[in-house]
Amino acid sequence: MLDEKRIYLMTQLALFEEHHKDQLDGVSTYFRGDYIGRHMIKNGLRITLAYLLVLAGWGLYHAETLIVDITKIDVMALGARILFFYAVSMCVCLVLTYAIQTVRYSRAERDLYEYRELLEQLEHAYRQEDVRRMNARRRGNE
């Protein structure tokens, strides 16, 4: 016999899994610090790569000026400025990454709690069905 409550709960669980699969996997497999740290490392590498690409593009765009004025350029000051802007951009992006991932993790924790509640409701519905069947068998044997 089909139980509409169980079918509804299974449908809700399937939809929930489909929409929140990545979030649920991240929260259930990582601690908060590891989850946030993983994203910060990935974004730090991306920021470094993007910064190097922008720096290379800037160098190619100003190649003629750099070649002509190479003896007049204070290389230490230029290197210090490049490193300063890299550090500032890295810090800003990592702070944003930390804030965003903290919010995402807390939302995912809340979603995981909701998912577990749905699972418990489904398990309870199955237990009730098992009790009903056992009672029906006992009545039939009497």
Quote the CA–CA distance of 4 and 10 in Å, as a whole number: 10
Domain annotation covers residue 138: no
The pTM of the full predicted model, rounded to 2 decimals, is: 0.73
The whole domain housing 92 covers 37-125
Per-residue pLDDT tens digits for 61-111: 999 988 888 888 888 998 999 999 999 999 999 999 999 999 999 998 998
Residue 1 forms part of a structural domain: no
Counted domains in the chain: 1
Q: Which residues contact 31 (CB under 8 A, 6 or more apart)?
A: none
Task: Report yes or no: 98 and 36 within 8 Å, Cβ to Cβ.
Answer: yes
Residue 54 lies in a domain: yes
